[in-house]
Amino acid sequence: LLSYEDFEKLEVQYPKPQINGGIRYGTAGFRSNSRDLPFVMFCCGILAALRSRYLGGQTIGVMITASHNPPGDNGVKLIDPQGEMLEQSWEVHATDMANCQTAKQLYEFVKQFIDTYKLHDAVANIAWARDTRPSGEYLARAVEDGAHCLKSNIRAYKLLTTPQLHYMVRALNTQSTTNPYGQPDEEGYYRKLAKSFGSILKDAKISITVDGANGVGAIKVAELAKVCPQLDLTVVNYHTDVPNALNVECGADFVKVQQRLPNNVKPEPFKTCCSFDGDADRIVFYYTDSESKFHLLDGDKISTLAAMFLRDLVAQAGVNATVGVVQTAYANGASSDYIRDNLKLAVEVTPTGVKHLHHSAQRFDIGVYFEANGHGTVLFSPEALTQIFQYEAQSPAQKTAVDLLRSLTELINQTVGDAISDMMLVLVILSYKNWTLKEWDSEYNDLPNRLVKVLVPDRRIFETTDAERKLIKPEGLQARIDSVVKKYSKGRSFARASGTEDAVRVYAEAQTRPEADELAVRVSELVS
Ligand code: 16G
Ligand code: ZN
């Protein structure tokens, strides 16, 4: 650790957040207006170094991004050695550090941490990346300065998508093991994807239009296309040089919430289109029909497609592995029914936030998880992978199925949801089934639904249970919601405090559009 004097000099460079009630490391890490973040970033640099020392020098990732938030925001997330989210018990350390009031307080915290865990002589390795937000460059310097307080080795990837950094961290930490995840650089990432995509699709050529949200995903998906001859790619909203364009009237969040085309995508009947969010860890698909009507295929549609395909493939291969699906309360009720009743697969529901879904999916041999907003992936358990790779096919049909399964385990980013990798997975499945988005969409019909943001004086009084589907506080409110919901055919509604905004979110779905809208309004009135 630096001397206190050096430490103090560094620390004064980075102003503390002026936020009432402090700042908290939540489901999306720290996220706020970029003005509030220099000191927070400095702390995260220190914390990443402490975490790396604590884990025997394994590389810890630091991703600087605010995803789909407005351009003026930014944020930071730490990535654990296998590419997972930071272990939950360390989130409190992040919060404690970021809320220190003086340099002295932070210095004492770090010193005591080092003493408690005997981290004096350990080495630290850190890898950071950022999205295209202009504030990212300065904030990255704060991360580096924090990490340098503990004499860390730093690998600066600079511009990457969030899932690319997750890939790099896992690749770095498995480099010299018997099971390397991939080459820990961009070329390695593209090559891994392009190789499996190419081995599956051979000389097919697949067209897709990608709305890059004017963010980092636009640049990176174009890089991939250069080494992937099967991909006939059109990128729109790639203006990363116009900072204020990020996520504005475009991107996955805009399309999902507004349920309409983003800027610069013209309605061409049945054209295959998708949108990434600002850091390319979410994707939604859509098309317009011959009447220019817009059709959205969100995370629920992606997970049902993937689950169905993998279930059939496993059966064809004769591999003994069960496929399960993990969703949140926001999943459309029609999708959950379809998975249970048509696909005959298990569905689990967890609270909102990738880490909850990811954990739950790890309990299946093959766990498919997606949030309705388009974040998700597929996880293969170590046992399932061993089976798939050691399996000896008994027939040519089995061999074809096993080979495809093997390629898919390479194509899918198993560290975290990845818009680029998810896009390729969907294209492979559609190509195999010879489906357009229309056939995919017709597997089941989404129930009409509405999401409303309700401003309340204090959202902390809203406490939920049962994977956020029921309120236990304020007392009596759930009973009132239930009695309203009862009046609507196929009605379902719930309210929960947002983890990223100062508001309560109300979700409602019902048999018809007017009913869903009315239910949303009535429950919102009960909440506010
Ligand atoms: C965060 C979560 C995302 C979730 C969203 C909900 C991660 C990496 N991100 O962005 O999964 O859908 O929060 O936001 O976990 P809300 O709490 O404001 O509804
Ligand atoms: Zn994102």
For 21-73, what is the HEC assignment? CCCCCECCEEEEEHHHCHHHHHHHHHHHHHHHHHCCCCEEEEEECCCCCCCCE
- 272, 295, 318: which is the final residue of a domain? 295
Q: Which domain holds residue 133?
A: 4-174
pLDDT at res. 331: 98
**For residue 368, pLDDT beyond 80:** yes
What is the C-alpha end-to-end distance of the chain, expressed in Å?
50
Specify whether the CB–CB gap between 228 and 222 falls below 8 A. Answer: no
Specify whether the CB–CB gap between 153 and 86 falls below 8 A. Answer: no
Same domain, yes or no: 409 and 454: no
Query: Measured in angstroms, how far is the CA atom of residue 27 from the centroid of ligand 1?
Result: 6
For residue 371 and ligand 1, the question of a CB distance below 6 A is answered with: yes
% pLDDT > 70, the chain = 100
Locate 203 and state its tokens: 């000389």
**Tens of pLDDT, residues 236-259:** 999 999 999 999 999 999 999 999
Query: Measured in angstroms, how far is the CA atom of residue 352 from the centroid of ligand 1?
Result: 6
- 374, 398, 417: which is the final residue of a domain? 417
**Amino acid letter at 173?**
N
Specify whether the CB–CB gap between 233 and 247 falls below 8 A. Answer: no
* Strands of 192-298, DSSP E: 206-211, 231-236, 273-276, 283-288, 294-297
Question: What is the number of domains present in the chain?
Answer: 4
Locate 301 and state its tokens: 């549609």
Q: Indicate whether 189 belongs to any domain.
A: no
Comparing 279-293, 300-314, 493-507, the range with the smallest average pLDDT is: 493-507
- Report the distance separating Cα 321 and Cα 414, nearest Å: 17
Same domain, yes or no: 375 and 453: no
Same domain, yes or no: 321 and 375: yes
Place of tokens 């009960």: 526
Same domain, yes or no: 215 and 312: no
Average pLDDT taken over every residue of the chain: 96
16 Ramachandran zone, left/alpha/beta (phi>0; psi -120 to 50): beta
Same domain, yes or no: 224 and 277: yes
Q: Indicate whether 254 belongs to any domain.
A: yes
Q: Read off the CATH number of the domain in which 395 is found.
A: 3.40.120.10
Same domain, yes or no: 65 and 162: yes
**Tens of pLDDT, residues 135-165:** 999 999 999 999 999 999 999 999 999 999 9
Pairing outcome for strands 449-454 and 273-276: unpaired
- Report the distance separating Cα 428 and Cα 375, nearest Å: 18
Secondary structure of residue 323 in the 3-state scheme: strand
Give the residue, out of 354, 360, 413, with the most ligand 1 atoms within 8 A of its beta carbon, to mutate for a pocket test.
354
For residue 336 and ligand 1, the question of a CB distance below 6 A is answered with: no
Using 50, 70 and 90 to split pLDDT, how confident is the model at 3? confident
* Ligand in closest contact with the CA of 453: 1
Q: Indicate whether 226 belongs to any domain.
A: yes
pTM, to two decimals: 0.96
Q: Indicate whether 434 belongs to any domain.
A: no
**For residue 263, pLDDT beyond 90:** yes
Same domain, yes or no: 71 and 109: yes
Specify whether the CB–CB gap between 140 and 167 falls below 8 A. Answer: no
Specify whether the CB–CB gap between 443 and 304 falls below 8 A. Answer: yes
Looking at ligand 1, which atom is closest to the CA of residue 68?
Answer: 10
- Report the distance separating Cα 398 and Cα 310, nearest Å: 14
Beta-carbon contacts of residue 225 (< 8 Å; ≥ 6 apart): 231, 233
**For residue 381, pLDDT beyond 80:** yes
Locate 12 and state its tokens: 């004064």
**Tens of pLDDT, residues 304-319:** 999 999 999 999 999 9
**Tens of pLDDT, residues 6-54:** 888 887 889 888 888 889 998 889 999 999 999 999 999 999 999 999 9
ipTM given for this complex: 0.97
**For residue 375, pLDDT beyond 90:** yes
For residue 359 and ligand 1, the question of a CB distance below 6 A is answered with: no
For residue 57 and ligand 1, the question of a CB distance below 6 A is answered with: no
Specify whether the CB–CB gap between 300 and 446 falls below 8 A. Answer: yes
Q: Indicate whether 147 belongs to any domain.
A: yes
Other C-beta atoms closer than 10 Å to the C-beta of 421 total 29
* 103-108: average pLDDT: 92
Active site residues: 67
- Report the distance separating Cα 85 and Cα 87, nearest Å: 6
Same domain, yes or no: 466 and 379: no
Q: Indicate whether 79 belongs to any domain.
A: yes
Locate 224 and state its tokens: 């991939």
Query: Measured in angstroms, how far is the CA atom of residue 279 from the centroid of ligand 2?
Result: 5
Q: Indicate whether 191 belongs to any domain.
A: no
Beta-bridge partners for 158? 129
How many helices (H) does the chain have, and how many strands (E)? Answer: 18, 19
From residue 178, alpha-carbon distances to 173, 203, 519 in Å are 11, 32, 55
Q: Read off the CATH number of the domain in which 521 is found.
A: 3.30.310.50
Locate 2 and state its tokens: 């630096």
For residue 360 and ligand 1, the question of a CB distance below 6 A is answered with: no
**For residue 234, pLDDT beyond 90:** yes
Other C-beta atoms closer than 10 Å to the C-beta of 425 total 25
For residue 31 and ligand 1, the question of a CB distance below 6 A is answered with: no
Specify whether the CB–CB gap between 527 and 459 falls below 8 A. Answer: no
Same domain, yes or no: 282 and 214: yes
Same domain, yes or no: 169 and 306: no
CA–CA–CA angle 267, 276, 286 (5° rounding): 35
Composition of the chain by helix, strand, coil, percent to 5: 45, 20, 35
Same domain, yes or no: 290 and 319: no
**Tens of pLDDT, residues 73-97:** 999 999 999 999 999 999 999 999 9
pLDDT at res. 17: 85
**For residue 99, pLDDT beyond 90:** yes
Query: Measured in angstroms, how far is the CA atom of residue 123 from the centroid of ligand 2?
Result: 31
**Tens of pLDDT, residues 158-193:** 999 999 999 999 999 999 999 899 999 999 999 999
Query: Residue whose CA is closest, atom 4 of ligand 1?
Result: 353
From residue 63, alpha-carbon distances to 123, 212, 314 in Å are 20, 19, 35
- Report the distance separating Cα 339 and Cα 101, nearest Å: 50
Locate 185 and state its tokens: 């650089």
Q: Indicate whether 429 belongs to any domain.
A: no
Among residues 300, 255, 307, 253, which one has the least CA distance to residue 280? 253
- 295, 321, 345: which is the final residue of a domain? 295
Looking at ligand 1, which atom is closest to the CA of residue 328?
Answer: 12
Looking at ligand 1, which atom is closest to the CA of residue 355?
Answer: 15
Looking at ligand 1, which atom is closest to the CA of residue 501?
Answer: 18
pLDDT at res. 265: 97
Same domain, yes or no: 375 and 276: no
**Tens of pLDDT, residues 389-435:** 998 889 999 999 999 999 999 999 999 999 999 999 999 999 999 99
Specify whether the CB–CB gap between 208 and 431 falls below 8 A. Answer: no
pLDDT at res. 165: 98
pLDDT at res. 4: 80
